[in-house]
Amino acid sequence: PEWGHREALIIYASNCTKDPGDIFATLDKVRQQRIRSSVIHVSAELNVLRCLSEKTGGGCSVLTSVEHLKQSLNSFLIPPPSSRENGSLLRAEMVEMGLPRREDERCLGYDGSSRLRCLSRSFVCPRCDTRTTDVPSVCTVCSLPLVSAPHLAQSYHHLFPLPAFEVYPNSSSCSGCCITTSNDAPSERYGCPSCLQLFCLECNLFLHETLHNCPGCVDAGM
């Protein structure tokens, strides 16, 4: 869909490629399909794979150790933020979804393979009251996408991350923990570019890594 992302991760160990056709025509086709392609080279870097990653907006790295391999793979666990298409941000569209309620009573419902069985725990579709085993999933009867509130929040945070705060050499109190800077603590403050409120280092890390929201912007309705 227009609001989704397509990604390909290539782990390459060879020092050459064998292409049945025009490889650059294939690269253009991948770019037109908006498939973000990233490459991890186990041995030497190949120019054609670097061109692939550059054309599609992916990453390209050459491994130096086993620890580097773990770091490279872990970097792809978080989905990328929404990118600019044709000079403008992706437009938000309404997507119909249902928030099912959970029931822990034994009842008949559909499992992941759309087979009717007895369930000890189920999620009830808000449209047709059909019971299913897991979320996120699609209702077997009415085809309504079923998700939970944490899934929606997690997707939103990944697609629209909190912007980086600007550093201010200010000793005023933090807007998050309300603690004034002491002599043995860093005096830098990190300001939100939207609401201009200042936060300490610990609160800045908490907002970007855990909360994914600026309390000043939320309070102001931004």
Encode the chain (222 residues) as per-residue pLDDT tens digits. Answer: 555 678 899 999 988 888 888 888 888 988 888 888 999 999 888 889 999 999 888 889 999 888 998 988 888 887 766 655 544 455 656 778 888 988 888 888 888 777 888 888 888 899 998 888 888 888 888 889 898 877 777 777 777 788 889 888 766 778 888 777 655 555 688 888 888 888 888 888 888 888 888 888 888 776
The per-residue pLDDT for 86 is 43
pTM: 0.43
Q: How far apart are CA 41 and CA 32, in angstroms?
A: 24
Alpha helices in 41-92 (DSSP H): 47-56, 66-74
The per-residue pLDDT for 83 is 56
Q: Which pairs count as long-range contacts for 137-140, CB under 8 Å and 24+ apart, including other chains?
A: 137/112, 139/98, 140/110, 140/114
Beta-sheet strand order (sheet of 198-199):
166-168, 189-191, 198-199
Which DSSP category does 120 fall into?
Answer: S
